[in-house]
Chains A and B, each alone.
Chain A
Amino acid sequence: MYNASDLRKGLKLLIDGNPYIVIDFEFSKPGKGQSLYRCKMRNMISGNQLVKTYRSVDKFEKAELEEKTMQYLYHQGDEYHFMDTTSYEQLALTAEQLGDNAHYLIDNMEVEGLFFDGRPIDVTVPTFVNLVVTQADPWAKGDTTGNDTKPVTVETGYQLQVPPFIEEGEKIQIDTRTGAYVTRVK
Chain B
Amino acid sequence: MPDAPHTRAACFSCLRAFFAAKGFLEVDTPIRLPAIIPERFIEPITSEDFFLQTSPELCMKRLLARGYPRIFQISHCFRRGEKGRLHHEEFMMLEWYRLGADYRRLMADCDALLAFLAQNLDKFLPPDTDFIWPARLREEFLLGAETVSVADAFARHAPRSLDEAMAAGAFDELLVHHVEPHLGRSRPTFLTDYPAELASLARLSPEDERIAERFELYSRGIELANGFSELTDANEQRRRFAEEIATIARDGKTRPAMPERFLADLARIDAASGIALGLDRLIMLLLDESALATAVTFAPDDL
A: residues with CB less than 8 A from B are 5, 26-36, 38, 53, 56-57
Residues of B with C-beta under 8 A to A53 = 173, 177
Residues of B with C-beta under 8 A to A34 = 40-41, 172
Contact among B39, B81, B83, B176 with A30 in the assembled complex (CB-CB below 8 Å)? B176
The reply to whether the CB of B226 lies closer than 8 angstroms to some CB of chain A is: yes
20 contacting pairs across A/B (C-beta < 8 A):
A27-B83, A27-B87, A28-B84, A28-B86, A29-B41, A29-B82, A29-B176, A30-B180, A30-B223, A31-B223, A32-B42, A32-B198, A32-B226, A33-B175, A34-B40, A34-B41, A35-B82, A36-B173, A36-B176, A38-B177
B: residues with CB less than 8 A from A are 39-42, 81-87, 171-173, 175-177, 180, 198, 200, 216, 223, 226, 251
Give the CA-CA distance A33 to B84 in the complex, in Å.
15
Q: Is the Cβ of B175 less than 8 Å from the Cβ of A30?
A: yes
Given A33-B175, A34-B172, A53-B173, 11 more A-B residue pairs with CB atoms under 8 Å apart are A26-B84, A26-B85, A27-B85, A27-B87, A29-B176, A30-B175, A30-B176, A31-B226, A33-B198, A34-B40, A53-B177
CB-nearest residue of chain B relative to A4? B81
Give the CA-CA distance A56 to B175 in the complex, in Å.
17
Please report whether the interface of chain B is mostly helix, strand, loop or mixed according to DSSP. Answer: mixed
- The smallest C-beta distance from A21 to any residue of chain B, in angstroms, reads 19
CB-nearest residue of chain A relative to B225? A31
Q: Is the Cβ of A35 less than 8 Å from the Cβ of B81?
A: yes
CB-nearest residue of chain A relative to B171? A33
6 smallest A-B Cβ distances: which pairs?
A: A27-B84, A33-B172, A31-B226, A34-B41, A32-B200, A28-B176
Residues of B with C-beta under 8 A to A28 = 84, 86-87, 176-177
- The smallest C-beta distance from B26 to any residue of chain A, in angstroms, reads 24
Residues of A with C-beta under 8 A to B216 = 31
- The smallest C-beta distance from A51 to any residue of chain B, in angstroms, reads 10
- The smallest C-beta distance from B103 to any residue of chain A, in angstroms, reads 14
Give the CA-CA distance A30 to B223 in the complex, in Å.
8
Give the CA-CA distance A53 to B84 in the complex, in Å.
14
Residues of B with C-beta under 8 A to A56 = 41, 81
Residues of A with C-beta under 8 A to B180 = 30
Residues of B with C-beta under 8 A to A32 = 39, 41-42, 198, 200, 226
Q: Is the Cβ of A36 less than 8 Å from the Cβ of B81?
A: no
Q: Is the Cβ of A36 less than 8 Å from the Cβ of B83?
A: no
Residues of B with C-beta under 8 A to A57 = 251
Residues of A with C-beta under 8 A to B172 = 29-30, 33-34, 36
